[in-house]
Amino acid sequence: MAAAGRFAGRAAAAALGLAVVAGGVTALARYLFGYAVPDGFDLVRLTGGIAACWGIAAAIAADELIRIDVARALPRPLAAVVAVLGGAGALAGAVLLARSGVLGTDLLLRSGETTADLQLPLWPAHLVMAAGLVVAALLALLRLLAPVEGDVET
C-alpha cells in the first residue's frame, strides 16, 4: 500500500504543479500581454481535478483523512469497532466517488465533449481522474482489510 500511496502522492503533486504553472502562465499572458492562452482555463481546471482525485487516493493510503479521534478514549475492543466503521465509511465514500468518476468519463466519451478553443476531447483527463478515484477506493478497501491492531493507538 505504501508504494501505491507514494505513486498517488506524486501524481497529485505533478498535476497540482502543472495546474499552478498553467494558471500562472495563463494569468500573466492575459493581464501583461493581452493574450488569451487557448484552453488555458480548461487545462487548469482539468489538471486541478486530476490533482484532487489522486490526492484523495494519497490521503487514503497515508491514512491522513480528517477525523475525530474518539478511538483513543474508548476501550480497545470498542475502539476496534469504531476503526472498522470509519474504514467502512471511507470505503463507501470512495466507491461512490469512483462510480461517479467512471460514469462521468463514460458520458464524456459518448458525448464527444471537447474544450472550447482547441477542441481537445475532455474524456482522457476525466479518465485519469476516474483512475485516481478507483485507486482511492481500492486503497480504502485495503485499509479496511488491514489488521485493526495497528490502526488503533491507546
Q: What percent of the chain is modeled with pLDDT above 70?
A: 93
- The Cα–Cα gap between 148 and 154 comes to 12
Residue-range definition of the domain harbouring residue 49: 2-150
Is the pLDDT confidence value at 154 over 50?
no
Per-residue pLDDT of 61-101, as tens digits, reads 988 776 667 777 888 888 888 888 888 999 999 999 999 99
Q: Are 147 and 79 in contact (CB under 8 A)?
A: no
User: What is the spatial distance between Cα 116 and Cα 1, in angstroms, rounded to a whole number?
Assistant: 39
- Number of domain units in the chain: 1
Which cell numbers in the block locate residue 96? 461512490
The three-state secondary structure class of 35 is coil
Q: Decide if 107 contacts 130 (C-beta within 8 A).
A: no
Contacts of 78 (CB under 8 A, 6+ apart): none
Of 21-30, 55-64, 77-86, which range is least confident? 77-86
